[in-house]
């Protein structure tokens, strides 16, 4: 059906020309038709260029989690010999750590890298100022972009209740973080009329990144204390704090809520650290 000549001096075969008769054309056409009709079922048919099969679409890259590349420092206040405030056998250091560990898990699930200032009931430094400096050092060395210091409150009047967040007055970004945290905490407890307040606390004053100090509730209040030892409520607190961090990283702004003329009750942090370290 064709004529093949050997190339001179090349040692290879080369097609010099073709002579095809009528019968050959019919045979060739039948072969092509069969391949086009049943080609998809032939082994290796996807590699036959003349079938014109479209390539499979490339799947889109997976979406990055919302906190990808963000580093958050989480500081569970107190630890070890420093138990913080204690009421009815409930120690502040235990509540702080339980919520902080849950918060760590939620932030990591959102893609963040979390720097914990402690991950167990341990604080080898009994000097309060040295302990606070070590916590700030860990946050700075971990290249954290924001810091949440977690505490539980206390007050001589047991009727005082509610979560409250504090920021340093010279930190606009710390204020924004604290306002977002407080808004999420109020969503968890809609009757909570407390607002984020400025405070000159040591952790806030000496933090090199936006920082907020969170009082999860009053251990001196029986209702708050009952909730703060409940694992389900601790999980909801961690969810609220994680949402606030996510909103902060997204650049959201929020302003203080109006108090409708009501005077806010006192909400000072009691017994957390002696006055000389504030």
pLDDT digits (tens, 9 = 90+) for 29-66: 566 555 555 544 545 545 555 455 667 788 887 789 99
**Separation of alpha carbons 260 and 256, rounded Å:** 12
Q: Which residue has the higher pLDDT, 101 or 267?
A: 101
pLDDT range class, residue 158, cuts 50, 70, 90: very high
Query: Cβ(216)–Cβ(228) under 8 Å?
Result: yes
User: Average pLDDT for residues 197-225, to the nearest whole number?
Assistant: 97
Range of lowest pLDDT (53-62, 86-95, 163-172)? 53-62
Strands (E), the chain: 2-6, 13-18, 71-76, 86-87, 90-91, 113-116, 146-153, 164-167, 197-198, 211-218
Residue 185 has pLDDT above 50, yes or no: yes
> In the chain, what are the domain boundaries?
2-50, 71-258+266-277
**pTM, entire model:** 0.74
Q: Which two tokens stand for residue 251?
A: 């650049």
Q: Which CATH number fits domain 71-258+266-277: 2.40.170.20, 3.40.630.40, 2.60.40.10, 3.40.50.10610?
A: 3.40.630.40
């Amino acid at each position: 059906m064709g004529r093949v000549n050997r190339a001179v001096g090349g040692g290879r075969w080369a097609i010099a020309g073709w002579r095809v008769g009528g019968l050959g054309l019919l045979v060739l056409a039948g072969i092509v038709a069969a391949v086009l009709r049943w080609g998809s079922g032939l082994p290796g048919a996807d590699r036959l260029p003349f079938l014109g099969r479209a390539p499979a679409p490339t799947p889109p890259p997976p979406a990055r989690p919302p906190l990808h590349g963000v580093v958050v420092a989480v500081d569970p206040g107190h630890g070890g010999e420093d138990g913080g405030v204690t009421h009815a056998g409930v120690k502040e250091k235990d509540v702080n750590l339980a919520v902080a560990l849950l918060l760590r898990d939620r932030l990591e699930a959102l893609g963040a890298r979390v720097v914990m200032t402690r991950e167990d009931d341990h604080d080898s430094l009994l000097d309060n100022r040295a302990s606070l400096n070590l916590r700030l050092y860990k946050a700075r060395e971990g290249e954290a972009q924001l810091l949440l210091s977690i505490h539980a409150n206390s007050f001589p009047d047991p009727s005082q209740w509610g979560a409250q967040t504090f920021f340093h007055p010279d930190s606009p970004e710390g204020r924004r973080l604290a306002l977002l945290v407080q808004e999420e905490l109020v969503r968890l407890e809609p009757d909570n009329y407390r607002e984020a307040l400025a405070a000159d606390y040591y952790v806030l004053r000496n933090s090199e990144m936006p920082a907020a100090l969170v009082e999860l509730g009053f251990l001196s209040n029986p209702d708050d204390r009952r909730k703060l030892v409940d694992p389900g409520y601790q999980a909801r607190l961690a969810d609220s704090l994680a949402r606030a961090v996510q909103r902060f990283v997204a650049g959201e702004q929020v302003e203080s809520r109006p108090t409708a003329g009501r005077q806010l009750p006192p909400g000072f942090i009691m017994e957390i650290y002696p006055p000389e370290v504030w």
